[in-house]
Amino acid sequence: MSALTQSTAWQALEAHHREIKPLHMRDLFEQDPERFEKFSERSTGLLLDYSKNRITEETMKLLSNLADECGVLKARDRMFAGEHINMTEDRAVFHVALRNRSERPMMVDGRDVMPDVRDVLNKMRRFTQDVRSGTWRGVTGRHIKTVVNIGIGGSDLGVIMALQSLRSYQRDDLSPRFISNVDSSHLVETLRNLDPETTLFIVASKTFTTQETMLNATSARSWLVKRLGSGAVSKHFVAVSTNEEKVADFGIDTDYMFPFWDWVGGRYSTWSAIGLAIALVIGMDKFEEMLEGAHAMDEHFRTSPIEHNMPVIMALLGVWYSNFFGWSTHAVLPYDQYLTRFPQYLQQVDMESNGKRVDLEGRPVDYSTGPIVFGHAGTNAQHSFFQLLHQGSWKCSMDFIGVANNHHPLREHQTILLSNFLAQTKALMRGKTEDEVRAELKAEGLSDEKIDLVAPHKTFPGNKPTNSIILPLVTPFTIGQLLALYEHKIFVQGILWNINSFDQWGVELGKELASEIKPKLMGEVPIMDEDSSTAGLIHYMKRLKKE
């Protein structure tokens, strides 16, 4: 057994779980009208209501003990101190420096990184101003109207999500597009109807070696060169990377390379120059407001005690359900159309960070780690998978993200949206008993026979836990807060599970095998040393290709 599951705090939680399991939240709310006040936290306009969870004050005390015993606050302080907590890659995990808006130095390896961070922000500001004002023009002298971000994973998901979320801050004459998938359809469809004279490509890649991004960038460059000639590349291609040599090899003027550093993990890089497309499309001031929002959450995380620390509370609740209830799925359900891409973005941050099977000492863990994260925007999601959330046999924890105000106050749209938000969390908490269903059906005049038939199907067990996170409005600041909230939640869970949340070796094997398989698919080498399924599929695909 691992030290974690043997720890006093863990054992106490196991015993406590046996007491909590039979309790229904409906009763807990009836017994205690103060639940909302007791189990909610606020920070710079953001509210976390976690009262609709299967917890009592005792649960939160025992969970806090777990955080204490696992050294969460010490680990947090080590991150903010720039220590090399990413031990397999021997790197600091220091994205908090990218959004440090205070005068505090941020030290890595004995050096304050803030002057470099500010230099890059200034360089981004100058460039975005030039492009947005029309000072920077394409090779034929026309203004830039489209920014195409070429990147994948952390060099794509955060940028798309932020720009989708902040669409109402976008100017009509400057819009973003994205190429990430190596599938040529993505490139062709993205470039369809684009005017090369008014298009600016950002090649966004931390390593500048990622196969998909490099091939997409090469194809995009050919598309441009074919139409405007090779002299156009310097006016239509810029790069964001840590790898100056590769950027130069690709033919991009390194004066227009926006650097970042190895202490910025790919999935935390939206705050770095990877956010250049965001800054171009909504303006540098708005991008910096996003940093401000993240910084506000960083400060909350850095200074709040465990029992009032939102990321810590969310992390502990996640562990409560994953490890004690045995539910390893977590749904994220934003009730704002602008946040549609948020669950997808979060999948990488959470699943790439905590999808780990060994602990820091390299021993296989005997408890579940990162959950499966999924979700979609409400109310649409209500009409797809909510049936399973309410009545399915699969259990999961859920975050509902509600936004009080809408950028487009139109008739009663927002009131209906929020009513649905509130109704769902209430329904999931209370459920509907079979007695209540039977009484309703009787009042409708149904026969006893019909009631017997239908009642079990119309019964809702309830007792399904939800967090409600409320933002005043989707703005650059609140998006920054929200993202940082989840980043820190995921960080804390990694500490609790004693895993390294900062590497991603799990993506490597497939990459290696893909490069071995490629020459076989191309017929350059014989199909030997393959299992019969892979060999059979290669042969089958090659045959189809010829036909």
Largest CA distance in the chain: 82
Q: Rounded distance, CA 44 to CA 289, Å?
A: 13
Please state the φ and ψ torsions of residue 364, each to the nearest 5 degrees.
-55, 135
Q: Rounded distance, CA 336 to CA 497, Å?
A: 32
Tell me the two tokens of residue 37: 């006040």
Q: Which of residues 257-286 bind ligand F6P (CB under 6 A)?
A: 266-267
Q: Does 466 bind ligand F6P (CB under 6 A)?
A: no
Give buried/exposed letters for 288-314 (b at 16+ CB in 10 A, else e).
bbbbbbbbbbbbbbbebebeebbbbbb
Query: What is the SS3 assignment for 173?
Result: coil
Q: Does 158 bind ligand F6P (CB under 6 A)?
A: no
Tell me which of 197, 212, 289, 352 is the catalytic residue: 352
C-beta closer to ligand F6P: residue 206 or 438: 206
Please answer whether residues 172 and 288 qualify as being in contact, where contact means their C-beta atoms are separated by less than 8 angstroms: no
C-beta closer to ligand F6P: residue 199 or 504: 504
Binding residues with ligand F6P: total (CB under 6 A):
14
Q: Does 498 bind ligand F6P (CB under 6 A)?
A: no
Tell me the two tokens of residue 502: 């900062």
CB of 9 to ligand F6P, least distance (A): 32
Tell me which of 383, 408, 457, 545 is the catalytic residue: 383
Q: Does 152 bind ligand F6P (CB under 6 A)?
A: yes
Please state the φ and ψ torsions of residue 108, each to the nearest 5 degrees.
-130, 130
Tell me the sheet residues that pair with 111. Answer: 108
Q: Rounded distance, CA 94 to CA 54, Å?
A: 34
Name which position in 86, 128, 205, 468 contacts ligand F6P (CB under 6 A). Answer: 205
C-beta closer to ligand F6P: residue 298 or 352: 352
C-beta closer to ligand F6P: residue 266 or 375: 266
C-beta closer to ligand F6P: residue 56 or 216: 216
Q: Which of residues 228-247 bind ligand F6P (CB under 6 A)?
A: none
CB of 341 to ligand F6P, least distance (A): 16
Name which position in 4, 92, 94, 154 contacts ligand F6P (CB under 6 A). Answer: 154
CB of 476 to ligand F6P, least distance (A): 22
CB of 108 to ligand F6P, least distance (A): 20
Going by C-alpha positions, the residue among 113, 131, 9 that lies closest to residue 65 is 9
Tell me which of 38, 74, 511, 518 is the catalytic residue: 511
For residue 6, the surrounding DSSP H or E stretch is helix 3-6
Q: Which of residues 6-65 bind ligand F6P (CB under 6 A)?
A: none
Q: Rounded distance, CA 129 to CA 135, Å?
A: 8
Name which position in 59, 369, 478, 504 contacts ligand F6P (CB under 6 A). Answer: 504
Q: Rounded distance, CA 403 to CA 468, Å?
A: 10
CB of 412 to ligand F6P, least distance (A): 41
Q: Rounded distance, CA 417 to CA 304, Å?
A: 32
376 annotated active-site: no
Q: Hey, which residues are catalytic here?
A: 352, 383, 511
* Interface with ligand F6P (CB under 6 A): 152-155, 205-207, 210, 213, 266-267, 352, 504, 507
